[in-house]
Structure 1
Amino acid sequence: MQQIKTFLMFEGGAEKAMTFYLSLFEDAEVVSMVKYGAEGPGPEGSVMVAVFRLAGQQFMCSDSYQHHGFTFTPSMSLFVDCADEAELDRLYGALVEGGGALMPLGDYGFSKKFGWVNDRFGVSWQLNLPHA
């Protein structure tokens, strides 16, 4: 059966980002991780490819060993429907730290509360508290 996964390509810091994301969700785990060895082509110990799970959704990530003329953009973001306001506030606070707010927490009319951030690694997150 086919699966669609989000793939996050970092220029260094993939393991730190993955570890940070895993700390934010109760239902989270590393499924697999392969690191570059001394033979490369990436820096030894950096992530060749990793698969991790957050809230039932699988993601992949890697450390690119080549510089690219692009990075993450808010036009593609991870959208999280939160169970309650406490969860929304906790995630927003953790994700905005070292990053930046695109839309501060507020009532924008389409849900009870919403916020949009770029985290410290450049990944964009939309955090939502849906109407009941």
Structure 2
Amino acid sequence: MSKITTFLMFDGQAEEAMKFYTSLFKDSQINHIFHSEDGKILHATFTLKGQTMMCMDTSVKHDFTFTPSISLFVTCDTEGEIDALFERLSEGGQVLMPLAPSPISQKFGWVTDKFGVSWQLNLSQ
């Protein structure tokens, strides 16, 4: 496991989010889930494109959620991959920057998904 691991806190949607994310990325899987008695996730680990991540469902109602100030930056291998990820991640979410060439990328796009998590998608030149 990495010494620094991305940790996502959801409000009852952690398992749905993990299943969604692992269905999108190759080399991905849910590694471990520890449920509470009411079915919420107390702690879980999953892997996306070989990168270990963690998540949980909060049991406390907070006045905050995810923000685009922190995002997951994904380097895509092909144009087909970036197009498919952009389409699926933006469904029910919000496009922050549409897919387009950039000075440092063949194609780049930024979305917030239906769970509120921000994703920067990059296809290097």
TM-score range for the pair, normalised by the shorter chain length: over 0.9
- TM-score by length of structure 2 reads 0.96
Deviations 1:86-120 (A, max 9, x none): 00000000000000100001112221100000000
* CA RMSD, Structure 1 to Structure 2 (Å): 1.1
Q: Which amino acid aligns with 2:6?
A: T
Q: Which of 65, 71, 78 is 2:65 aligned to?
A: 71
| Structure 1 unaligned residues grouped into runs of 5+ | 38-43
Identity of aligned residues (%): 54
Q: What is the correspondence of 1:84-95 to structure 2 with a 5 Å cutoff? A: 84-95=78-89
* Residue in 1 that maps onto 2:39: 45
Q: What is the correspondence of 1:103-122 to structure 2 with a 5 Å cutoff? A: 103-122=97-116
Partners in 2 of 1:90 and 1:7 — Cα distance?
A: 24
Partners in 1 of 2:2 and 2:43 — Cα distance?
A: 19
Aligned 8 A contact 2:2 2:52 in 1: no
Q: CA deviation at 1:69?
A: 1.6
Q: Which amino acid aligns with 2:34?
A: V
Q: What is the correspondence of 1:1-132 to structure 2 with a 5 Å cutoff? A: 3-37=3-37, 44-131=38-125
Aligned partner of residue 105 in structure 2, secondary structure: coil
Partners in 2 of 1:70 and 1:11 — Cα distance?
A: 11
| Structure 2 unaligned residues grouped into runs of 5+ | none
Q: CA deviation at 1:122?
A: 0.2
Instruction: Say how many residue pairs are matched.
Output: 125
Partners in 1 of 2:106 and 2:12 — Cα distance?
A: 36
Q: CA deviation at 1:2?
A: 6.3
* Residue in 2 that maps onto 1:41: none
- TM-score by length of structure 1 reads 0.91
Partners in 2 of 1:62 and 1:34 — Cα distance?
A: 9
